[in-house]
Structure 1
Amino acid sequence: MDLHSPLKKFFGFNKFKGLQEQVVKSIVNNNNTFVIMPTGGGKSLCYQLPALMKEGTAIVVSPLIALMKNQVDAIRGISENNGVAHVLNSSLNKTEIAQVKSDIASGITKLLYVAPESLIKEEYVTFLRTQKISFVAIDEAHCISEWGHDFRPEYRNLKHIIKAIDNVPVICLTATATEKVQEDILKTLGITDANRFKASFNRANLFYEVRPKTKEVEKDIIRFVKQREGKSGIIYCLSRKKVEEVAQILQVNGIKAVPYHAGLDAKTRVKHQDMFLMEDCDVVVATIAFGMGIDKPDVRYVIHHDIPKSLESYYQETGRAGRDDGEGYCLAFYSYKDIEKLEKFMASKPVAEQEIGHALLQEVVGYAETSMNRRKYLLHYFGEEFDEKNGDGADMDDNSRNPKKKHEAKEDVVKLLKVIKDTLQKYKAKEVVNTLVGKENALLTSHKTHLQPFFGIGKDKPAGYWMALLRQVLVVNYIKKEIEQYGVIKITEHGLNYIDKPSSFMMTEDHEYSEENDNSIITNAKSSGGAADEKLVKLLRDLRKKVAKKQGVPPFAVFQDPSIDDMALKYPITLEELSKVHGVGEGKARKFGKEFVKLISSYVDENDVLRPDDLIVKSTGVNSGLKLFIIQNTDKKLPLEDIAKSKGLEMSQLIKEMEVIIFSGTKININYALDDLLDEDQQEEIHDYFMEAETDDIEEALEEFDGDYDEEELRLMRIKFINEVAN
């Protein structure tokens, strides 16, 4: 069965991502299907494409009105008929409901999005029972399981409702689910026979960084956001009060930010969410209430002002960055005080719940304090192996880029464990540290600890050192925190063995965070596009925003960022050419394309742009992958011969590719290569020539210099000249 032509026709993609093709096949063949795919892995296409291909209407159960609205806008964007997708929920009036029903009955509607609570309504069930239903898709399926991180009781009932409507295949989709949650979902829905597809949890384009949280945290955030002006980001805080504070500080500093939390009235929440989607603001500061329903592909960074309660939430929240495969920066600020605050909140809960909570928090501490590759740590948590040398995205985290210093701490670990043992395992972390550094307090004196020979045995090092060591020893399970006696430190079996037979323990030193290190990381993070005509990109984005406003949809529902970048590479001037651009199918080209090709066409004329299709010589074509390769490797200052060789190009072909990049308005720095070829005076002489010359024609330059320089030197100098003067 060929699925590529419908994929191209409806969505404008030439190939599927990851497991999408197998999943779509499974649904088209009417099998129950279970899909675990990380946020940004392309889950929604898995049921949208079969729904568009099959006869009848697919029912999509989704927990949030905002999420449904997003998806409906996106599907309407690829079709001439708005009835192709509908929402059925509490926000509709009688007339609107009648319209939805008539579109389903006449076979126009391919996707019907419903909230689980609407699906319970007798009138809807009765109506749907008489219609041709192709299948039922359940999105965010972890809501079914009470072990999932976002349990919704109304989801438990879905099995009976689906049976009441029709005996159709069921497809469940979720972005995070541990083994336990997976089993629970399949059992509850009665589809243990489902075809199961589990995609890798690795999002290779995301960069992970954890910074120590200091009093300057807001300043750090402002600096970070200002360096990414015009890009969209989300900042997560744990309390509503903090959300309001941070949003205000950003606004005062000239950043377009809005707050979002459950304490705001529904109207304000919707307004702020729409401002974010419509690009009327750059940043949303939010509690975790935000984001479940945000299908915005071009979020460029996610900042955690406070560390979350579990690695699952952290993964889910960071996963909202870079869903279009472009740049995605995940920055978390971590201080152990925040963890202690969360532990205090838990103290009032039943012991069983506390145990789960503490175990989850312990994983978060491990992640924040680890010196190993963060991607490896995260994936290991989800039961997936990762090769930190050659895996996809292996160096995309702070620990790999700037390894932390370590030192041998075997003797200190023994001191620490002995103090815990000799104080009869009755103290919390703070008292253990006080005993080590010899700091008296009422509790220690009441137990006469200050009179013991080991009191102050570690006073040659500061308390902060011992606290850091204690946490690292906790992560490797030599000690544990007692739940029943809140926070008291006990030694484990492993710890007792260590006292008898100590082995090497490399303690990680906290590395202080510095400015230049920030900049180096940004330039290396995978940027979206990289080689498009920046001036045209800006014009196309402005037009996209205008068209989106007129249509009442978010800009990315018109065209996503990678499509805009591709237009600025290929300069399509007819609808047919536009439909060949990445992520633009025939439907989209017809629906939104006219104004875009008109803009590009006049831009090409005004700027005398040489379009890829006008280039007669197609040595390597205008290949954006090759361009990105050239830009990244000249950034790394690799010899030009090596860059050419690794792509099988002649030097003259490489120079031609670099000219295409530089003429499209993108910078390339080849100064390092020129410094090896020509001295300062020679470079200045050629620079001055291009400054005064009527034309940058190389033939004329060769004549002018009469054999002083060869063609290669002049062409490379022209690249440097345009880079400095024009770009």
Structure 2
Amino acid sequence: MGGTGVIEGMAGTADTGVTETGATDSAALAALHRVFGFDAFRGEQAAIVEHVIAGGDAVVLMPTGGGKSLCYQIPALVRPGTGIVVSPLIALMQDQVDALRALGVRAGFMNSTQDFDERRMTEAEFLAGELDLLYLAPERLRLDSTLDLLSRGKISVFAIDEAHCVAQWGHDFRPDYLSLSLLGERWPDVPRIALTATATRATHKEITERLGMPSARHFEASFDRPNIQYRIVPKTEPKKQLLAFLREEHAGDAGIVYCLSRNSVEKTAEFLSRNGVEAVPYHAGLDAGTRAAHQSRFLREEGLVVVATIAFGMGIDKPDVRFVAHLDLPKSVEGYYQETGRAGRDRLPSTAWMTYGLNDVIQQRKLIQSGEGDEAFRRRAQGHLDSMLALCETARCRRGQLLAYFGQEPDPAGCGNCDTCLVPPETWDGTVAAQKMLSTVVRLKRERGQKFGAGQIIDILLGKRTAKVIQFDHDQLSVFGIGEELGEGEWRGVARQLLAQGLLAVEGEYGTLVLTEASGAVLRREQEVPLRKEPERPAAAKGTGTRGERKAKAAAAELPEELLPAFEALRAWRAEQAREQGVPAYVIFHDATLREIATVWPTSVGQLGGISGVGEKKLATYGEGVLAVLAGLSGGAAPEAQDTAPASGEDAWPTDEPEPDDWI
């Protein structure tokens, strides 16, 4: 969501989820075929499009890659007037508009990056009815001049992109979104469609209330992204762990690495670059020119890694992001899901990888306690963090935990493609260990009137006579050395899991550990404490962890060897076109479309027009060029495999088209 998203999520006739032609308006299907080159909608798209074209309001929850943008683009093309898209993606509006124009869609935008003449030209086009879609940032709708302009034109539909920004308890609240209820008040006859890629039931309800859409029809697709493998590993040396992960599984792949602080972003990008991984930093502390340059490189180059704070990602129309890595614990499951959803938009195997440790938990607890907001806000933030910790510490299917968080029913048998399914973790009765750690906290408080962090408590349990232990005479405590049966890493795991289970709490700016109301039941032996066993070393998920095995999984999307020269020649031609036009390669054609061209080997413009993803505009612009590339190979004769159908139903339509739902 948030960008063009004009092809991903659409199905060709080979896809089993297509909607029958008669189920939606013929004008919508005609636009779908003429502009985007497809003959049928996928999943809920047809019902949403039909509902909005008929004038109904809609709230749409679909995962990244589900084809949300299509749900307002088709109505904007079919209904009279201009579709107004409210989007926070100022930095990417130009790219979004360029991608739409490449499809023959009359698109424009208005934001602070334009000069006076550019803005006046866009206004004139809107008033003359010469735009199909007009992108606006939400803050522009607070200006009387913008509202006056819109009142003088014809509006077909209002699309409110990234609608979860309106939710104050969501993961990316934007105050400007609170005023968007005025759209329904001022233009009651114009349908509105609010779209988001991630929202809990509570956020979903808040979106509806704050946007003033009580009669809107709600559409909710599955949040499952089965091509993404979710993995969380214990944090030891995070930068080195990340480097090993990239070298072993994603060498040469494009990806995003998220860090909590700007300093960590800079150091991680420099570390990767020094060790042979091409990486650039991205955070709000960089000047606008550097951020724009790094973003442009990521869009246009293959194999670049961006190390970023959460300020990067929304609206990035890049289908082949093969991994998203987190070196720090996200604040919420919603934020984590949104960020990991930026991987694998082409539906090929991808990885959501995270390192997670005790300090992450303590740091996040401290941030909540010291942050702005009232007590209710802190309680809600703590609830978000508790859900994130539950995801990290679960011994069950991680994908199932994610789906359950969003109110959807997981497969009780597990997904078979997350670390806890592929390598089920061992659990053990940690009741005695918990009692020892809690008792140490009690002794420090009762006997010395002191509170310490996890490091000092673990040193006491292990019987380490460090300078700090000796300074405070902690080697004289009765609990000194009672935990030598576990190693330091194991004790840190105990502390982390006790925090996650609410049996310990973090207090004060120094992150000291204190008991909770629930601690007493454990100390009195009234409650057992099951714990995950800490692995001896971080390991890739067995069976699917290596790059070669991931490639094997993607075999259905690969071409026969005899067709690879044609595919590579088409990719080279596409790269040249992209360089000449200054746009990302996927704006020309997507890999799935090129695969089908290489497979079918069309010899005429008419045959090329039958390829999924080749609409009228692209056929007119690039048709002769594509045919010339094929004619130059083997004298224009296709190999014997030319009559071979695409390898699978998924490959029969361009699954690598981006559906930009991400945050930048």
TM-score (norm 1): 0.77
State the alpha-carbon separation in 1 of the partners of residues 351 and 594 from structure 2. 21
Is the CA contact 1:479–1:492 (under 8 Å) kept in the aligned structure 2?
Answer: no
Partner of 2:389: 365
Is the CA contact 1:433–1:466 (under 8 Å) kept in the aligned structure 2?
Answer: yes
State the alpha-carbon separation in 1 of the partners of residues 522 and 240 from structure 2. 44
State the alpha-carbon separation in 2 of the partners of residues 489 and 288 from structure 1. 31
Matched to 2:79, the amino acid is: K
Identity percentage over the alignment? 36
Partner of 1:529: 557
Is the CA contact 1:291–1:320 (under 8 Å) kept in the aligned structure 2?
Answer: yes
Matched to 1:194, the amino acid is: A
Partner of 1:405: 426
Partner of 1:695: none
Partner of 1:489: 514
Q: Which of 199-208 and 227-236 deviates more?
A: 227-236
Q: Which of 197-206 and 121-130 deviates more?
A: 121-130
Partner of 1:586: 616
Per the alignment, in what secondary structure is the counterpart of residue 164 of structure 2? Answer: helix
The offset of 1:201, in angstroms, is 1.4
Partner of 2:6: none
1:222-267 CA deviation, whole Å, 9 max, x = no partner?
6615754543211222222222223233333444332221122212
Q: Which of 272-281 and 446-455 deviates more?
A: 446-455
State the alpha-carbon separation in 2 of the partners of residues 17 and 199 from structure 1. 11
Matched to 1:8, the amino acid is: H
State the alpha-carbon separation in 2 of the partners of residues 387 and 198 from structure 1. 18
The offset of 1:57, in angstroms, is 0.6
State the alpha-carbon separation in 2 of the partners of residues 398 and 318 from structure 1. 15
Q: Judging changes above 3 Å, is the alpha-carbon distance between structure 1 residues 167 and 494 closer, same or farther for their aligned structure 2 residues? A: farther
State the alpha-carbon separation in 1 of the partners of residues 533 and 548 from structure 2. 27
The offset of 1:162, in angstroms, is 5.4
Matched to 2:421, the amino acid is: S
Q: 2:407 aligns with which of 383, 388, 396?
A: 383
State the alpha-carbon separation in 1 of the partners of residues 638 and 159 from structure 2. 50
Tell whether 2:423 aligns with 1:395. no
State the alpha-carbon separation in 2 of the partners of residues 623 and 318 from structure 1. 29
The offset of 1:85, in angstroms, is 0.7
State the alpha-carbon separation in 2 of the partners of residues 260 and 19 from structure 1. 35
Matched to 1:552, the amino acid is: G
Alignment of 1:331-342 (within 5 A): 331-342=353-364
State the alpha-carbon separation in 2 of the partners of residues 574 and 250 from structure 1. 47
Q: Judging changes above 3 Å, is the alpha-carbon distance between structure 1 residues 209 and 154 closer, same or farther for their aligned structure 2 residues? A: same
The offset of 1:27, in angstroms, is 0.7
Tell whether 2:618 aligns with 1:596. no
Matched to 1:45, the amino acid is: L
Q: Judging changes above 3 Å, is the alpha-carbon distance between structure 1 residues 230 and 579 closer, same or farther for their aligned structure 2 residues? A: farther
Alignment of 1:256-655 (within 5 A): 256-279=278-301, 282-350=304-372, 352=375, 353-389=377-413, 394-417=415-438, 427=451, 428-430=453-455, 432-439=457-464, 453-481=478-506, 487-493=512-518, 496=521, 499-502=524-527, 505=530, 507-514=532-539, 517=542, 520-525=545-550, 526-527=553-554, 529-531=557-559, 533-605=563-635, 609-613=639-643, 622-625=645-648
Partner of 1:41: 66
The offset of 1:74, in angstroms, is 2.3
Tell whether 2:84 aligns with 1:59. yes
Is the CA contact 1:258–1:281 (under 8 Å) kept in the aligned structure 2?
Answer: no
Matched to 1:362, the amino acid is: D
State the alpha-carbon separation in 2 of the partners of residues 172 and 264 from structure 1. 32
1:418-474 CA deviation, whole Å, 9 max, x = no partner?
555676687554455445434568998999876565543333323432331233344
The offset of 1:318, in angstroms, is 0.8
1:111-147 CA deviation, whole Å, 9 max, x = no partner?
1111122233333322221221111111011222222
Q: Judging changes above 3 Å, is the alpha-carbon distance between structure 1 residues 286 and 516 closer, same or farther for their aligned structure 2 residues? A: closer
Partner of 1:118: 140
State the alpha-carbon separation in 1 of the partners of residues 649 and 135 from structure 2. 41
Is the CA contact 2:333–2:388 (under 8 Å) kept in the aligned structure 1?
Answer: yes
Is the CA contact 1:125–1:164 (under 8 Å) kept in the aligned structure 2?
Answer: no
Q: Judging changes above 3 Å, is the alpha-carbon distance between structure 1 residues 623 and 405 closer, same or farther for their aligned structure 2 residues? A: same
State the alpha-carbon separation in 2 of the partners of residues 490 and 395 from structure 1. 38
RMSD: 3.3
Q: Judging changes above 3 Å, is the alpha-carbon distance between structure 1 residues 493 and 222 closer, same or farther for their aligned structure 2 residues? A: closer
Partner of 2:98: 73
The offset of 1:150, in angstroms, is 1.7
Per the alignment, in what secondary structure is the counterpart of residue 69 of structure 2? Answer: helix
Who wins on radius of gyration, i.e. which is larger? Answer: 1
Partner of 2:181: 159
Structure 1 spans left out of the alignment, 5+ residues: 614-620, 629-727
Matched to 1:31, the amino acid is: G
1:344-384 CA deviation, whole Å, 9 max, x = no partner?
44443256244444443333333233332211122222222
Matched to 2:420, the amino acid is: N
The offset of 1:321, in angstroms, is 0.8
State the alpha-carbon separation in 1 of the partners of residues 541 and 161 from structure 2. 42
Is the CA contact 2:429–2:528 (under 8 Å) kept in the aligned structure 1?
Answer: no
State the alpha-carbon separation in 2 of the partners of residues 256 and 482 from structure 1. 40
Is the CA contact 1:247–1:257 (under 8 Å) kept in the aligned structure 2?
Answer: yes
Is the CA contact 1:11–1:584 (under 8 Å) kept in the aligned structure 2?
Answer: yes
Is the CA contact 1:404–1:511 (under 8 Å) kept in the aligned structure 2?
Answer: no
The offset of 1:164, in angstroms, is 3.7
TM-score (norm 2): 0.83
Is the CA contact 1:417–1:491 (under 8 Å) kept in the aligned structure 2?
Answer: no
Q: Judging changes above 3 Å, is the alpha-carbon distance between structure 1 residues 384 and 419 closer, same or farther for their aligned structure 2 residues? A: farther
Per the alignment, in what secondary structure is the counterpart of residue 193 of structure 1? Answer: coil
State the alpha-carbon separation in 1 of the partners of residues 230 and 358 from structure 2. 19
Partner of 2:3: none
Is the CA contact 2:567–2:595 (under 8 Å) kept in the aligned structure 1?
Answer: yes
Q: Which structure ranks higher in relative contact order (CA pairs < 8 Å, sequence separation ≥ 6)?
A: 2
1:630-677 CA deviation, whole Å, 9 max, x = no partner?
xxxxxxxxxxxxxxxxxxxxxxxxxxxxxxxxxxxxxxxxxxxxxxxx
Is the CA contact 1:418–1:499 (under 8 Å) kept in the aligned structure 2?
Answer: no
The offset of 1:578, in angstroms, is 2.4
The offset of 1:623, in angstroms, is 4.2
Q: Judging changes above 3 Å, is the alpha-carbon distance between structure 1 residues 487 and 454 closer, same or farther for their aligned structure 2 residues? A: closer
Is the CA contact 1:129–1:166 (under 8 Å) kept in the aligned structure 2?
Answer: no
Q: Which of 257-266 and 117-126 deviates more?
A: 117-126
Q: Which of 425-434 and 469-478 deviates more?
A: 425-434
Partner of 1:93: 115
1:159-216 CA deviation, whole Å, 9 max, x = no partner?
2255445641211111222233222222222111111112221111111122233336
State the alpha-carbon separation in 2 of the partners of residues 516 and 452 from structure 1. 42
The offset of 1:320, in angstroms, is 0.6
Q: Which of 191-200 and 523-532 deviates more?
A: 523-532
State the alpha-carbon separation in 2 of the partners of residues 185 and 516 from structure 1. 38
Q: 1:27 aligns with which of 52, 72, 93?
A: 52
1:253-307 CA deviation, whole Å, 9 max, x = no partner?
4443322211222122112211211126622222211111312222111122333
Matched to 2:54, the amino acid is: N
Matched to 2:350, the amino acid is: G
Per the alignment, in what secondary structure is the counterpart of residue 313 of structure 1? Answer: helix
State the alpha-carbon separation in 2 of the partners of residues 488 and 229 from structure 1. 41
